[in-house]
C-alpha cells in the first residue's frame, strides 16, 4: 500500500463513513444457488456515503511483471484535503479476450473496493457473514446413524474470521493458477486451511 505523507483527515473521514455504512446484501444468485453481491450492489451502498464525507474512490487497470496473465486493479482512495491511500490487487485471467479481461476487472474492483472501505457482505436475511461464522463455531458436529461427521466452514468464512489480507489471498490464487477460491481443488483447500491455521495472514 502507498499513501500520502499524512492521512489524518482521510482517516477521520473514513471513520465517519464506516460508522454509517452498512454491510452489503448478497442479492444475486449464481452457480449451485450460491448467493453473492456484485460490484453495482456495492457501489449503490457505499458511493453516496463516502461522497458525503468528501472521499473519492478511483480504480483503474494495471499490470505487473510479477503477475503475468493477471489483471490488476489499483484502488485510489482520496480526500478533499489532498490526502490519499492506494493499493493494487491482481487476479488471474479466466478467459482470453476482452470479455475475460472485463470479468477479471469487475471481480478485482469489487473485492479491492470492499477491502479498502472495510465493507463486508451479508446474507439477504440480514445476518452478517461473521455472525454466521460464529454461529457455526468453526466446526459443527452432526450425529447421523451414531456417527459423528464434521462440516468445516467455507474458505471465505475462514478468511473473514481470521482477517486474511487480500495480498495473501491473491498469492494463493496466483500459485494455484486459478481465479477464485471456489476453483481450488480439495488438496489446495486443505493446504490453504493449514496456512490459515498456521497463522498466514
104 and 179 belong to one structural domain: no
pLDDT at position 106 is 87
pLDDT at position 38 is 84
156 and 58 belong to one structural domain: no
Mean pLDDT computed over every residue of the chain: 75
Return the number of other C-beta atoms located less than 10 Å from residue 115's C-beta. Answer: 17
12 and 89 belong to one structural domain: yes
Digit-coded pLDDT (tens) for 113-122:
999 999 987 7
78 and 15 belong to one structural domain: yes
Last residue of a domain, one of 100, 123, 146: 123
pLDDT at position 124 is 61
* Count of domains observed in the chain: 2
Report residue 8's pLDDT band, with 50, 70 and 90 as the boundaries.
Answer: very high
Beta bridge partners of 25: 122
Distance CA 97, CA 93 (A): 9
Last residue of a domain, one of 82, 103, 123: 123
74 and 56 belong to one structural domain: yes
- Contact of 177 with 184, CB cutoff 8 Å: no
94 and 158 belong to one structural domain: no
Digit-coded pLDDT (tens) for 21-79:
988 887 666 655 666 678 888 999 999 999 999 999 999 999 888 888 888 999 999 99
71 and 151 belong to one structural domain: no
Distance CA 137, CA 185 (A): 24
3 and 73 belong to one structural domain: yes
Last residue of a domain, one of 69, 100, 123: 123
Task: Assess whether pLDDT exceeds 60 at residue 107.
Answer: yes
User: 58 burial class (0-12, 13-18, 19+ CB within 10 angstroms)?
Assistant: exposed
Q: Which domain covers residue 147, as residue numbers?
A: 128-201
103 and 19 belong to one structural domain: yes
Distance CA 163, CA 40 (A): 24
Q: What's the predicted TM-score (pTM) here? A: 0.58
Lowest mean pLDDT among 101-110, 121-130, 139-148, 151-160: 139-148
119 and 138 belong to one structural domain: no
User: Which distant-in-sequence residues (6+ apart) come within 8 Å of 3 by Cβ?
Assistant: 83, 84, 85, 86
87 and 173 belong to one structural domain: no
Nearest to 117 by CA among 45, 46, 172, 178: 46
Percent of the chain exceeding pLDDT 70 equals 52
34 and 92 belong to one structural domain: yes
Amino acid at each position: 500500500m502507498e499513501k500520502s505523507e499524512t492521512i489524518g483527515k482521510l482517516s477521520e473521514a473514513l471513520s465517519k463513513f464506516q460508522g454509517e455504512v452498512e454491510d452489503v446484501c448478497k442479492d444475486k444468485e449464481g452457480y449451485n444457488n450460491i448467493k453473492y453481491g456484485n460490484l453495482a450492489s456495492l457501489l449503490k451502498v457505499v458511493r453516496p456515503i463516502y461522497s458525503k464525507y468528501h472521499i473519492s474512490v478511483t480504480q483503474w487497470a494495471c499490470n505487473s511483471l510479477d503477475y503475468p496473465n493477471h489483471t490488476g486493479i489499483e484502488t485510489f482512495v482520496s480526500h478533499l484535503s489532498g490526502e490519499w491511500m492506494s493499493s493494487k490487487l491482481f487476479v488471474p485471467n479466466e478467459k482470453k479476450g476482452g470479455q475475460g479481461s472485463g470479468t477479471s476487472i469487475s471481480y478485482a474492483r469489487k473485492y479491492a473496493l470492499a477491502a479498502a472501505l472495510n465493507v463486508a457482505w451479508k446474507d439477504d436475511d440480514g445476518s452478517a457473514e461473521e455472525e454466521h461464522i460464529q454461529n457455526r463455531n468453526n466446526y459443527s458436529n452432526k450425529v447421523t446413524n451414531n456417527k459423528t461427521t464434521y462440516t468445516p466452514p467455507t474458505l471465505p468464512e475462514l478468511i473473514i474470521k481470521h482477517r486474511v489480507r487480500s495480498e495473501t489471498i491473491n498469492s494463493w490464487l496466483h500459485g494455484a493458477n486459478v481465479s477464485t477460491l471456489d476453483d481450488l481443488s480439495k488438496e489446495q483447500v486443505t493446504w490453504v486451511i493449514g496456512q490459515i491455521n498456521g497463522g498466514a495472514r
